[in-house]
Amino acid sequence: MAQCKYCHASITRIDKEVCPFCGGKRPLDGTDTSTQDVTKIVDQLENAVEIKHKKRVVAAILAVLFGFLGAPHFYLGKVKKGFLTACICLALIGGVGFILFFAVKWQSVFAFLIPYFVVEAYSLFTAVMYLTKHNIQDSHGEFLE
> Cα separation of 138 and 8, whole Å?
49
Helix or strand or coil: residue 4? coil
31 lies in the same domain as 95: no
Q: Taking a C-beta distance cutoff of 8 angstroms, is the pair 119, 89 a contact?
A: yes
Predicted confidence at residue 45, as pLDDT, reads 55
Predicted confidence at residue 31, as pLDDT, reads 60
38 lies in the same domain as 62: no
31 lies in the same domain as 62: no
Residue 14, domain member (yes or no): yes
41 lies in the same domain as 66: no
61 lies in the same domain as 105: yes
Burial class of residue 120, CB neighbours in 10 A (0-12, 13-18, 19+): middle
Predicted confidence at residue 37, as pLDDT, reads 57
Residue 121, domain member (yes or no): yes
> Cα separation of 55 and 116, whole Å?
26
pTM (two decimals): 0.63
24 lies in the same domain as 77: no
124 lies in the same domain as 87: yes
Predicted confidence at residue 17, as pLDDT, reads 82
Predicted confidence at residue 34, as pLDDT, reads 57
Give me the tens of pLDDT residue by residue for the chain, a chain 145 residues long.
678 888 888 887 777 788 888 888 887 776 655 555 556 555 555 566 676 789 999 999 999 999 999 999 999 999 999 999 999 999 998 898 888 888 877 778 788 888 999 999 999 999 999 999 989 999 888 888 8
Question: In which domain, by residue range, is 16 found?
Answer: 2-46
Please count the structural domains in the chain.
Answer: 2
Predicted confidence at residue 33, as pLDDT, reads 53
